[in-house]
Copies of this chain bind each other. A is one copy, B any other.
């Protein structure tokens, strides 16, 4: 089964990469851009049991490796 994981910086955490992208967009005449936040997006192919079990396992993967839960949030989608 396929799973998607979205990792984003928590609100209030400074996002220098997003700032840089916004600056670049503004300098390219995309003045309508008011804010940019950059995150990670992962597609995982899993050979797992049930959806319920895999969701639990994915949460574990996120907590342990995929996201830094001190400054990042994560969201899981299983197809």
Q: Which residues of A contact B (CB under 8 A)?
A: 6-8, 18, 21, 24-25, 28, 30, 32-48, 54, 57, 60-61, 64-66
Contacts and interface: CB of A to CB of B under 8 A. Distances in A.
Contacts of A18: 42
Nearest to A39: B41
Tell me how many chains of this kind the complex includes. 2
B35 A45 contact: yes
Contacts of A40: 38-41
B32 A43 contact: no
Contact of A34 (B25, B41, B47): B47
Contacts of A61: 25, 28, 30, 33
Contact of A25 (B7, B21, B32, B65): B65
